[in-house]
Amino acid sequence: MSQSLYNHLRLNVFPTPYCPGCGHGILLGAVIRAMDDAGIDWEKTLFVSGIGCAAWIPSPHLMVDTLHTLHGRPIAYATGAKIANPDLNVIVVSGDGDLSAIGGNHLIHAARRDLGITVICANNRIYGMTGGQAAPTTPCGATTQTTPWGDEERPFDLCNLVRGAGGKFVARHTVFQIRNLIKTLSTALSTDGFSFVEALSPCPTHYGKLNKIPTLGDFQDLMKVQYIDKRRWDKLTPEDRKEKIPTGIWREE
Amino acid sequence: MKHTIEKVKSPIKPGEYFLMGDEASADGAIAAGCNFFAGYPITPASEIMVRMVHRLRETDGSFIQMEDEIGSICAMIGASWAGSKAMTATSGPGLSLMMEGLGYAAITEAPIVIVDVQRAGPATGQATRPGSGDVFQVKYGSHGDYEIIALSPWSVQEVFDLTLEAFNLAEAYRVPVFVLADESVGHLRERVIVPEEVERWNRPFASGAPPFDTDDPNGIPSMPAFGQGEHLLVTGSTHDGKGYRKTQDAATHEKLVKRLVGKIRNAADEISRCETYQTDDADILIVAYGFSARASLDAISEFRSKGVKVGLFRPVTLWPFPEKGLLETARGVKHIVVPEMNYGQVSREVERILHREITALPQVDGEGMRPGTIVDGIEQLIGRAK
Amino acid sequence: MRTELLFCGFGGQGIIFAGKIMGQAGVAAKLETAQSASYGSEARGSACHAGVVVSTEQIGYPKVTKPDILVAMSQEAYDKFINTVKSGGTVFYDSHLVNATETEGVVQNAIPATSLATDIGRRGVANVVMLSAMVASSGIVSKDNLQDTLDEQSPPAFKEINGNAVDAGFGFKG
């Protein structure tokens, strides 16, 4: 990262509280670079987050206005701030549980009303801060503290959900696809209307430990096989799609 | 820090109106400089939201109908930190949903105004009928220790006046303020006089000053807004003066909680307000607020015409409760009765303050307090005393 | 001096509107005025009533308990409230919609409001005819107070028809 980008960090709070191998630090770096690429005015930017590991990505690490809110409610807070001051660039960074379980209603309504904010969902497919319980994004069969015999429920496909609700720009990348992720975030930040980026982020500490993916390297190997470009995924047969998860852009208006 | 005061020409055309309490609340908010409303439809408070749609368009403010009441209070807090004077209006079920957000507003010291047009509960209860069962909820409903301010209007004019005052108090003390109205007053129409000029209080602000701590003994820190280049750290977790999370530090937590509570408790005499009617020679004192105080006036004239000396103590602020005023007024009084449209809430507070026996006169039939309830209660009391 | 008025009928007849106009006219006449209404979940067709208290002094309890004046526009409402009228009170009922029952100590006035309203071309202003006949008889506010309030509170398109309704109410001699 270039020296000038360090100015956007509160270096006094480093190192981050993230566990070894957590992808959230990579996402933090990607957000800063995307802000720079998109030419967003930091002084007119508000980062809003909820509760959970991902909610700590902007707060307190970024040297910018931050609003660290209640569990599930960052989008509701962001709605008020954006409408009260439309000149603010309002960016929500929070986790999958926060945004799609307890806060799912705010997510779909912000997309429906085409609120001019960007929502970045750090999806590690588990509740990390509380010790590893199942999330609405936990894959079928995955082991968590609350699904010790494998999750029997189907997970949300967040990109399809938000696209269905009316999001203007909707995309998904893993934190390992760093160039794509930064570019996608930058496009999202420049979108006029509601934009949503799902950033798949590994959680070796909880998800990995319970599902035999113990290290960041193991996650990287797995994700490389599992995640494929959406354009390729679209051409696969339903049978071949089963083991794969598409990444790319769902909608761009 | 101290708030600033400005006098402005009323944005609502001065003059005499015949308004519903809910409408007067919206107009009082606009007079106070409210420029943000987030809400969700609920009986009997929806009329406030509907009037705000139009009023905020006329005054270039912002309005949003949220997806639920949780969203409403959160949006309001976001707007408050973005520099707005923000408001919502709700009733029991909506208020219950807002409780977590209330605690958030308290710990981040976000000025917000919640108009609660109380209805008969619990749960859905009787949506179109009045009650005053939310008195304790606004004070104790969110978890942890905090303080709020609650005002209790007894007339439509006072709904206007107290909504305006609620904004001023919220700004000055950086605290959530409730207007605890009820359906009886919310749907009542009466004369309202809108003054030529209104006094507005604005939140204290000094560039660069810590937003969550102050050396000022009043305990009220400076409040900047997003977008001013202050790099604010606003969090619902325990935080130091600059906003850094301190979730493991006992001293920081204690200091924060004591300041949040202290800034209101220490100013209780400044904030609290009460009125008395015919109490100088009273043998029997009615302690009543809101609509119940209106009914008390009729009961008083009935007893006075028979030579029984009954008077009224009316708290205008329910929280902080006007303790000093009550202690003074109750001195020498033989009996104290507390009629209310709940099963005994303020009556317990009165008992706590006075350390003496009082008679609660609850009316929980979903009707506005009737003079007859008070008359019957006092007659029984006199009968027993003989 | 406190006077309690109760307007009753069913939703959609403009009962609450009549109460509101009465209250507003009271304010215009420099009286202390309070108007309250029954609110149900249904908007139309169900029983509804509006109470108005006017007084020369501060109003304590602002709701109607024993009306001095009852204005009834449906049989159901009439039956429900006729026995609440204060002794010495006055009742005005729409003779097209209500069969009155003799009640001791109460003076009852039959007003053919629906017919009068139909005659002037709009059945929907029967409420204004009733209100006007009651105001003409009781003198609580002046005709000017009533007419001005109606003009102020109704869309301009209603000015003429309301004016005719007020005239019909004031002109009716029982």
3-class SS at B228?
coil
Among chain B, residues having any CB pair with chain A shorter than 8 Å are 35-36, 38, 62, 64, 66-68, 70-72, 74-84, 86, 100-101, 104, 225-227, 229-237, 243-245
Among chain C, residues having any CB pair with chain B shorter than 8 Å are 20, 23-24, 27, 32-37, 39-41, 58-63, 65
Q: Which residue, among A72, B155, A195, has the nearest Cα to C36 in the 3D structure?
A: B155
**Does the pLDDT at position B64 exceed 80?**
yes
pLDDT tens by residue, C95-111: 999 999 999 999 999 99
Query: Where does the pLDDT of residue A2 fall: very low under 50, low under 70, confident under 90, or very high at 90 and above?
Result: confident
Q: What average pLDDT is seen over chain A? A: 96
Domain that holds residue B164: 4-202
Residue A145: φ, ψ to 5°: -60, -35
Q: Which residue, among C40, C49, C65, C38, has the nearest Cα to C10 in the 3D structure?
A: C49
pLDDT score at B208: 95
Alpha-carbon distances, residue B283 vs A29, A110, B120, C106 (angstroms): 74, 60, 32, 39
Contact partners of A by the rule of 3+ C-beta pairs under 8 A? B
pLDDT score at C42: 56
Q: Which of B117, B191, B373 to mutate to test the interface with C (most CBs of C within 10 A)?
A: B191
**Does the pLDDT at position A222 exceed 80?**
yes
Using a CB–CB cutoff of 8 Å, tell me whether A63 touches chain B.
yes
pLDDT tens by residue, B130-139: 999 999 999 9
Residues 6+ apart with CB under 8 A from A182: A30, A33, A34, A37
Considering the domain architecture, whether residues B151 and B56 belong to the same structural domain is answered as yes
Interface contact flag, C34 B127, Cβ < 8 Å: no
A 10 A CB-CB count for A23 gives 26
Q: Which of B202, B221, B239 is the last residue of a domain?
A: B202
**Does the pLDDT at position A69 exceed 60?**
yes
Query: Where does the pLDDT of residue B264 fall: very low under 50, low under 70, confident under 90, or very high at 90 and above?
Result: very high
| Residue numbers in B near C7 (CB within 8 A) | none
Quickly tell me which residue has 């307007």 as its tokens.
Answer: C7
Domain total in chain B:
2
- The strands making up C69-72's β-sheet, listed across from edge to edge, are B15-20, B189-194, C32-37, C47-55, C2-10, C69-72, C90-94, C107-111
Interface contact flag, A88 B227, Cβ < 8 Å: yes
Tell me how far apart the alpha carbons of residues B151 and B156 are, in angstroms, rounded to a whole number: 13
Q: What would the two tokens of residue A157 be? A: 């496909």
Which DSSP state fits A136? Answer: T
Specify if B157 maps to a domain.
yes
Mean pLDDT of B268-296: 98
Residues 6+ apart with CB under 8 A from B380: none
Q: Is A63 exposed, middle or buried (0-12, 13-18, 19+ CB in 10 A)?
A: middle
- Taking domain C2-171, whether its CATH number is 3.40.50.880 is answered by no
pLDDT score at C37: 87
pLDDT score at A243: 84
**Does the pLDDT at position C41 exceed 80?**
no
Tell me how far apart the alpha carbons of residues B22 and B50 are, in angstroms, rounded to a whole number: 10
**Strand partners for C110:** C93
Q: Which residue, among A182, A206, A45, has the nearest Cα to A124 in the 3D structure?
A: A206
**Does the pLDDT at position C173 exceed 90?**
no
**Strand partners for B317:** B151
Stretch among A97-111, B107-121, C32-46 having the lowest mean pLDDT: C32-46
Phi and psi based region of residue B285 (left: phi greater than 0; alpha: psi -120 to 50; beta: remaining): beta
pLDDT score at B386: 76
**Does the pLDDT at position B180 exceed 70?**
yes
Interface contact flag, C61 B16, Cβ < 8 Å: no
Interface contact flag, A85 B226, Cβ < 8 Å: yes
Residues 6+ apart with CB under 8 A from B83: A84, A85, B225, B226, B227
Quickly tell me which residue has 């409760």 as its tokens.
Answer: B321
pLDDT score at A76: 98
CATH code, domain with B188: 3.40.50.970
Using a CB–CB cutoff of 8 Å, tell me whether A43 touches chain B.
yes
pLDDT tens by residue, B323-366: 999 999 999 999 999 999 999 999 999 999 999 999 999 999 99
Tell me how far apart the alpha carbons of residues B12 and B10 are, in angstroms, rounded to a whole number: 5
The percent of residues in chain A predicted with pLDDT above 90, rounded, is 96
DSSP H/E element including A239: helix A238-241
Strands (E), C42-87: 47-55, 69-72
The domains located in chain A, with CATH, are 3-214+248-252 (3.40.50.970)
Q: What is the CA radius of gyration of chain A?
A: 17
Specify if B196 maps to a domain.
yes
pLDDT tens by residue, B71-96: 999 999 999 999 999 999 999 999 99
Interface contact flag, C62 B370, Cβ < 8 Å: no
| Residue numbers in B near C24 (CB within 8 A) | 18
| Residue numbers in B near A85 (CB within 8 A) | 82-84, 225-227
The CA-based dihedral angle spanning residues A110, A115, A118, A124, taken in that order and rounded to the nearest 10 degrees: 0
**Is the distance from CB of B62 to CB of B36 less than 8 angstroms?**
yes
pLDDT score at A68: 98
Mean pLDDT of B40-64: 98
| Residue numbers in B near C59 (CB within 8 A) | 190
Q: Which of B202, B234, B260 is the last residue of a domain?
A: B202
| Residue numbers in B near C61 (CB within 8 A) | 294-295, 297-298, 370-371
Considering the domain architecture, whether residues B13 and B146 belong to the same structural domain is answered as yes
| Residue numbers in B near A105 (CB within 8 A) | 67-68, 71
Q: Which of B189, B302, B374 to mutate to test the interface with C (most CBs of C within 10 A)?
A: B189
pLDDT tens by residue, A145-189: 999 999 999 999 999 999 999 999 999 999 999 999 999 999 999
Can you tell me the ipTM of this complex?
0.97
Mean pLDDT of C112-130: 96
pLDDT score at B385: 78
Considering the domain architecture, whether residues B85 and B179 belong to the same structural domain is answered as yes
Stretch among A236-245, B222-231, C53-62 having the lowest mean pLDDT: A236-245
| Residue numbers in B near C148 (CB within 8 A) | none
Nearest chain C alpha carbon to B190: C34
pLDDT score at C46: 77
Mean pLDDT of A185-207: 97
- The beta-carbon neighbor of B294 closest among C20, C39, C62 is C62
Nearest chain C alpha carbon to B290: C61
- The beta-carbon neighbor of A79 closest among B64, B233, B235 is B64
pLDDT score at B285: 98
A 10 A CB-CB count for C4 gives 22
Name the minimum distance, in Å, from the CA of C59 to any CA of chain B.
8
Which DSSP state fits A204? Answer: I
pLDDT score at C40: 65
Considering the domain architecture, whether residues B183 and B302 belong to the same structural domain is answered as no
Helical H segments across chain B, by residue range: 21-32, 46-58, 69-81, 92-97, 99-108, 135-140, 156-173, 183-186, 250-265, 268-271, 290-305, 323-330, 346-354, 371-385
Q: What would the two tokens of residue B44 be? A: 């009997």
Tell me how far apart the alpha carbons of residues A42 and A31 are, in angstroms, rounded to a whole number: 12
Specify if B36 maps to a domain.
yes
Q: Which of B181, B202, B223 is the last residue of a domain?
A: B202
Which DSSP state fits A173? Answer: E
The percent of residues in chain B predicted with pLDDT above 70, rounded, is 100
pLDDT score at B176: 98
Specify if B181 maps to a domain.
yes
pLDDT score at C43: 57
pLDDT score at C39: 67
Specify if B266 maps to a domain.
no
Considering the domain architecture, whether residues B181 and B319 belong to the same structural domain is answered as no
**Does the pLDDT at position C174 exceed 70?**
no
- The beta-carbon neighbor of A70 closest among B36, B75, B236 is B236
Specify if B216 maps to a domain.
no
